[in-house]
């Protein structure tokens, strides 16, 4: 596992139909993707669809594969259009919705991503990968209460789900519930100690609670795991890991303090 990628991206890669490299190519930012956003074609609710034929299932699989190739190339709009075809042909395939919703999120289309991922959740309310993707879309769109509720559900279904705890920490910190932010960040660091992002989340939560020394210690752990976190110029990268602009500013403050 490449530790320089966002935590939630790494695990969704494995959990949601081999979502490898979900962050797209380096240099393809969400702001770049937003400039070419096109209206989403509505998807009929899965329950209203007849059972697809074998031919349609095969076509849908091919569309999913092609859509993921487009995603890997940073061609998000082509990926979205292709994956919309896959879910239309095979509306009972959970991974089709999770892949589509995730790429919509990467393209900066969180309202559309939420709609798609809600359909994935409707298809299987116990699927943790769908819940995590939906929770992240809620988080980055600013619906913090929905993000908390969704990730709590994921954590209840899988108590070892580091994604849920990590994103819960980010949401709780933005809600100024610092004790909960610290507790969930600690849980994420225990479950995935070699990823720097939970340590950064822990540092921010401790800093905002006023625990400056503990915050610096947690951030030092992130720097030891990835030396780039010792450079202020690298910190905007945290946006891809669902940190808010204010949280990134806090990380900069921690970095600027000399022990």
Averaged pLDDT for residues 45-71: 85
As a whole number of angstroms, the distance between CA 77 and CA 199 comes to: 34
Residue at token pair 């919705």? 97
**What is the pLDDT confidence band of residue 49, given thresholds at 50, 70 and 90?**
low
Residues 1-158, CATH architecture: Alpha Horseshoe (1.25)
Domain chopping of the chain, boundaries: 1-158, 164-259
For the chain, give the mean pLDDT: 85
pLDDT at 258: 60
pLDDT over 70, % of the chain:
80
Residue 117 structure tokens: 């991922």
pLDDT at 20 over 80: no
Helices (H), the chain: 7-15, 30-34, 54-72, 76-89, 94-106, 110-123, 128-141, 144-157, 162-174, 178-191, 196-209, 212-225, 245-256
pLDDT at 211 over 60: yes
pLDDT at 63: 96
pLDDT at 51: 87
pLDDT at 21: 27
Residue 34 structure tokens: 């937003």
71 backbone dihedrals φ, ψ, rounded to 5°: -60, -45
pLDDT single digits (tens) 230-252: 999 999 999 999 999 999 999 99
pLDDT at 8 over 90: no
**Would you call 177 helix, strand, or coil by DSSP?**
coil
Averaged pLDDT for residues 67-73: 96
pLDDT single digits (tens) 150-166: 999 999 999 999 999 99
Residues 164-259, CATH architecture: Alpha Horseshoe (1.25)
Averaged pLDDT for residues 193-198: 97
pLDDT at 32: 32
pLDDT at 257: 85
Averaged pLDDT for residues 183-197: 98
- Domain 1-158 and domain 164-259 have a common topology: yes
Would you say 120 and 97 are in contact if contact means Cβ atoms under 8 Å apart? yes
Which own/partner pairs from 50-55 qualify as long-range (CB within 8 Å, at least 24 positions apart)? Answer: 51/92, 52/89, 52/90, 52/91, 52/92
* 20/207: higher pLDDT: 207
pLDDT at 202 over 90: yes
As a whole number of angstroms, the distance between CA 161 and CA 150 comes to: 13
pLDDT at 5 over 80: no
As a whole number of angstroms, the distance between CA 206 and CA 183 comes to: 10
Largest CA distance in the chain: 65
Residue 95 structure tokens: 């991974």
pLDDT single digits (tens) 88-144: 999 999 999 999 999 999 999 999 999 999 999 999 999 999 999 999 999 999 999
Averaged pLDDT for residues 207-223: 97
Threshold 0.85, pTM exceeds: no
Residues in the chain: 259
């Amino acid at each position: 596992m490449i530790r320089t990628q966002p935590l939630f991206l790494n695990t969704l890669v494995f959990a949601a139909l081999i979502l490898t490299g979900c962050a797209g190519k380096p240099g393809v930012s969400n702001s770049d993707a937003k400039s070419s956003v096109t209206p989403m074609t509505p998807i009929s609710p899965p329950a209203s669809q007849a059972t697809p034929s074998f031919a349609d299932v095969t076509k849908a699989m091919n569309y999913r594969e092609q859509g993921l190739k487009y995603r890997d190339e940073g061609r998000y709009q082509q990926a979205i259009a292709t994956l919309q075809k896959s879910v239309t042909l095979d509306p009972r395939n959970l991974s089709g919705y999770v892949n589509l919703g995730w790429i919509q999120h990467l393209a900066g289309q969180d309202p559309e991503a939420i709609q798609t991922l809600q359909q994935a959740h409707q298809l299987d309310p116990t699927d943790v990968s769908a819940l995590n993707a939906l929770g992240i879309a809620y988080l980055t769109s600013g619906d913090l209460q929905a993000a908390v509720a969704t990730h709590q559900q994921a954590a209840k279904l899988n108590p070892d789900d580091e994604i849920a705890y990590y994103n819960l920490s980010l949401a709780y910190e933005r809600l100024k519930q610092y004790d909960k932010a610290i507790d969930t960040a600690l849980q994420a660091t225990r479950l995935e100690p070699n990823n720097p992002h939970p340590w950064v989340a822990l540092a921010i939560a401790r800093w905002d609670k006023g625990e400056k020394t503990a915050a610096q210690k947690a951030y030092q752990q992130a720097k030891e795991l990835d030396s780039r976190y010792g450079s202020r110029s690298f910190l905007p990268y945290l946006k891809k890991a669902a940190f808010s602009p204010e949280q990134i500013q806090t990380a900069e403050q921690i970095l600027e303090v000399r022990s």
